[in-house]
């Protein structure tokens, strides 16, 4: 079925393929990708778009000696297929299976871990400078999308790399798409460049003619070189990348292997930084993905013929509830504006974007800018709401602290995908937001345990609270049972009464704590479950009262152990001289890999059964 592909065990195996065979190989890879990802889910459209690009790269460069840094890394499937990991694709993004991103621990062909956008040129430049300092000799490449090129780090890296003499090949995979349609002035500029496909050709012709000018002696040669450069500048308009110090090659058709091989061979011979502009189509070769690349950017298992998800019926999730609530609140309050760093779909903002075009801003993959831009909008009297996935919000730490919190500005930060996210793995786990937000002055943190609480909290955050406020909610739709009490800022609620043990928890874990209390009740143990609702400021009175009542307290959270709810509650007990049996349950201080949320909860002892077992021991002073 895969005549050529099944014989590729490592990238060297493609080096003696003819052009015809390479093209055939690309067809086989596409068929394999569609078939395999339809059974596991994953990032399909981006990978379909880079099939020829990746094959051409492996044809021209010698990995693992040469190094490729894949930006974001979601487009590395073809690279994984060509580097002896094809047989593991049925385990893609599953616990203990193949990661959906480059992993140095997985293969010597992966030289740098990625997951978050716009890091590739920085990392590649570091590797290149290290190579030169060590006196080694190999090629270093960064492969990044036009979406990634909207991220600010890219400009810090271009600025640094462009003035360097280090050999570095930056490859732009330009498909005019981020997850959604790409935005911004750079995107418009690239569109302009793409409309000049003859640029690279004419550049070659001009250079060919100039090279015919003979050299006489060393000094004269350098003089001629300058003249040639001047003539070239006159004849050919330079690109922004030339002006930054790169040799710009392109735009080249990213589905034409022959053309790409020619460009890469040329790039290999150039001294200094090179910028190769490759033009591709996201979803290439699978018409459903070509027509709807957003849907197939990241998709769960699907039917190949219809393109529809195989999974169960559609259920609401927190992002959707957030988006719908925001729309209804914004109908009544015209000061509300929404900002997204390139994630309108994932964060549930499409309804808002359709309805309030003037009040919606997609700023590109630019979390730092999104937050400071929001601070500016707050200064001019608007109420900015900036939903960002927890792990991407890490990017904007200083902007939240310096621009929002220190000025005590009314910016609302819905922290989506807070806690374990599952298949995307360690780079995407939203485990750190409580730790990095809770120590910021003026910041409040809310955590709903069901959809209704989220709606009430959002209403409170935009209409009542006049200071920085974050609302952290999980991926998916886990909801606590039977919560009725209206939300009150700063007040926790007791969701189960009991006299033997207290569990202090929040958000997704409230449901787990309820299940724990039920298991323990069967063993005659009464558990008091407190849902904090407001993680900061803590409801200290309720914590102290319950501690005195049960004398045994556990904290349980969907976050990392250091600096989370456990640390905060423990300080409350310490500071109030309350000495009871106390233990924090949270994810450990180590990278948490991919797997389903349920599998990871279980692996780290955070599922109801494991917690109940732990609680029995804990109540027995450590004895089984």
| H/E stretch holding 382 | none
What sign for the dihedral angle of Cα 32, 35, 36, 37?
A: positive
We find the least distance from the C-beta atom of residue 365 to ligand TPP, in angstroms, to be 5
Interface pick for ligand TPP out of 74, 93, 472, 496 (rule CB under 6 A): 74
> How many CA within 13 A on the CB side of residue 560?
19
The CA angle 19-267-131, to the nearest 5 degrees, is 120
Interface pick for ligand TPP out of 48, 342, 445, 495 (rule CB under 6 A): 342
DSSP class of 214: P
367 is catalytic: yes
Stretch that binds ligand TPP, among 170-178, 188-196, 376-384, 461-469 (CB under 6 A): 170-178
Query: Does residue 392 interact with ligand TPP by CB under 6 A?
Result: yes
Nearer to ligand TPP, 13 or 290 (CB): 290
Query: Does residue 175 interact with ligand TPP by CB under 6 A?
Result: yes
Catalytic residue among 80, 282, 284, 295: 282
Q: Are 294 and 350 in contact (CB under 8 A)?
A: no
Nearer to ligand TPP, 148 or 404 (CB): 148
Measured in residues, the chain has a length of 624
Catalytic residue among 30, 395, 508, 511: 395
List, in sequence order, the alpha helices (H) in 334-385.
350-355, 367-379
3-state secondary structure of 120: helix
Angle at which helices 218-235 and 199-211 pack, to 10 degrees? 150
Interface pick for ligand TPP out of 252, 365, 525, 565 (rule CB under 6 A): 365
Number of residues that bind ligand TPP (CB under 6 A): 23
Catalytic residue among 28, 367, 453, 557: 367
Could you give the string, one character per residue 44-63, with x where binding to ligand TPP holds by CB under 6 A and - elsewhere?
A: --x--x--------------
Nearer to ligand TPP, 193 or 462 (CB): 193
Interface pick for ligand TPP out of 54, 167, 178, 534 (rule CB under 6 A): 178
395 is catalytic: yes
3-state secondary structure of 492: coil
Query: Does residue 117 interact with ligand TPP by CB under 6 A?
Result: yes
Nearer to ligand TPP, 116 or 496 (CB): 116
The C-alpha atoms of residue 388 and residue 346 are separated, in whole angstroms, by: 9
Query: Does residue 25 interact with ligand TPP by CB under 6 A?
Result: no
Q: Are 164 and 273 in contact (CB under 8 A)?
A: yes
CA 199 to chain centre: 34
Nearer to ligand TPP, 139 or 282 (CB): 282
| H/E stretch holding 67 | strand 67-70
Q: Are 356 and 176 in contact (CB under 8 A)?
A: no
Assess whether the previous peptide bond of 489 is cis (omega < 30° from 0). Answer: no
Query: Does residue 179 interact with ligand TPP by CB under 6 A?
Result: yes
533 is catalytic: no
188, two tokens: 């418009």
Binding site for ligand TPP (CB under 6 A): 46, 49, 72, 74-75, 116-117, 145-148, 173, 175, 177-179, 282, 342-343, 365, 367, 392, 395
- Which residues are catalytic, by number? 282, 367, 395
């Amino acid at each position: 079925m895969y005549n050529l592909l099944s014989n590729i065990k490592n990238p060297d195996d493609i080096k003696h393929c003819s052009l015809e065979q390479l093209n055939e190989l690309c067809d086989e890879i596409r068929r394999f990708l569609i078939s395999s990802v339809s059974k596991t889910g994953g990032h399909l459209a981006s990978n379909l778009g880079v099939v020829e690009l990746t094959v051409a790269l492996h044809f021209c460069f010698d990995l693992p000696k040469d190094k490729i840094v894949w930006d974001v890394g979601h487009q590395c499937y073809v690279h994984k297929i060509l580097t002896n990991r094809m047989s593991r694709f049925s385990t893609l993004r599953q616990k203990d299976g193949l990661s959906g991103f480059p992993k140095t621990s997985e293969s010597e062909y992966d030289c740098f871990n990625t997951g978050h956008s716009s890091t590739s040129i920085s990392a590649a430049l570091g590797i290149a400078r290290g190579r030169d300092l060590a006196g080694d000799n190999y090629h270093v490449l960064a492969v990044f999308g036009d979406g990634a090129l909207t991220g600010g780090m890219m400009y810090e890296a271009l600025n640094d790399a462009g003035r360097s003499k280090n050999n570095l090949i930056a490859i732009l995979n330009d498909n005019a798409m981020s997850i959604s349609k790409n935005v911004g002035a750079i995107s418009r500029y690239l569109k302009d460049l793409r409309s000049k496909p003859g640029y690279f050709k004419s550049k070659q012709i001009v250079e060919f003619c100039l090279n015919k000018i003979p050299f006489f002696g060393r000094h004269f040669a350098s003089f001629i070189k300058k003249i040639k450069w001047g003539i070239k500048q006159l004849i050919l308009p330079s690109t922004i990348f030339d002006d930054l110090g790169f040799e710009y090659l392109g735009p080249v058709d990213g589905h034409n292997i022959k053309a790409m091989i020619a460009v890469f061979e040329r790039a290999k011979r150039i001294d200094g930084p090179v910028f190769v502009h490759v033009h591709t189509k996201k979803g290439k070769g699978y018409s459903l993905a070509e027509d709807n690349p957003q849907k197939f950017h990241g998709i769960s298992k699907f039917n190949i013929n219809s393109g529809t998800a195989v999974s169960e019926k559609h259920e609401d999730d927190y992002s959707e509830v957030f988006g719908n609530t925001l729309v209804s609140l914004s109908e009544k309050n015209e000061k509300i504006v929404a900002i997204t760093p390139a994630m309108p779909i994932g964060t549930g903002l499409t309804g808002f974007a359709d309805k309030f075009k003037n009040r919606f801003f997609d700023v590109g993959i630019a979390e730092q800018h999104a937050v400071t831009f929001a601070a500016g909008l707050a200064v001019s009297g608007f109420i900015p709401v900036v939903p960002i996935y927890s792990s991407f919000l890490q990017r904007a730490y200083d902007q939240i602290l310096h621009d929002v919190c220190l000025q005590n500005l009314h910016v609302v930060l819905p922290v989506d995908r807070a806690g374990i996210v599952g298949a995307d793995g360690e780079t995407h786990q939203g485990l750190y937001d409580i730790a990095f937000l809770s120590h910021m002055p003026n910041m409040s943190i809310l955590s709903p345990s069901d959809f209704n609480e989220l709606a009430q909290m959002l209403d409170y955050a935009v209409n009542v609270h006049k200071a920085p406020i974050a609302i952290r909610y999980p991926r998916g739709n886990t909801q606590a049972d039977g919560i009725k009490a209206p939300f009150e800022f700063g007040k926790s609620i007791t969701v189960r009464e009991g006299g033997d043990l207290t569990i202090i928890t929040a958000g997704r874990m409230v449901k787990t704590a309820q299940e724990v209390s039920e298991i323990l009740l069967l063993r005659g143990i009464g558990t008091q479950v407190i849902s904090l609702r407001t993680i900061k400021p803590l409801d200290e009175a309720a914590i102290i009262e319950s501690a005195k009542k049960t004398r045994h307290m556990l904290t349980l959270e969907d976050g990392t152990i250091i600096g989370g709810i456990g640390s905060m509650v423990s300080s409350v007990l310490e500071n109030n001289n309350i000495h009871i049996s106390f233990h924090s349950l949270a994810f450990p201080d180590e990278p948490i890999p991919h797997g389903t949320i349920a599998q990871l909860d279980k692996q780290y002892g955070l599922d109801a059964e494991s917690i109940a077992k732990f609680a029995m021991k804990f109540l027995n002073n450590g004895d089984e």
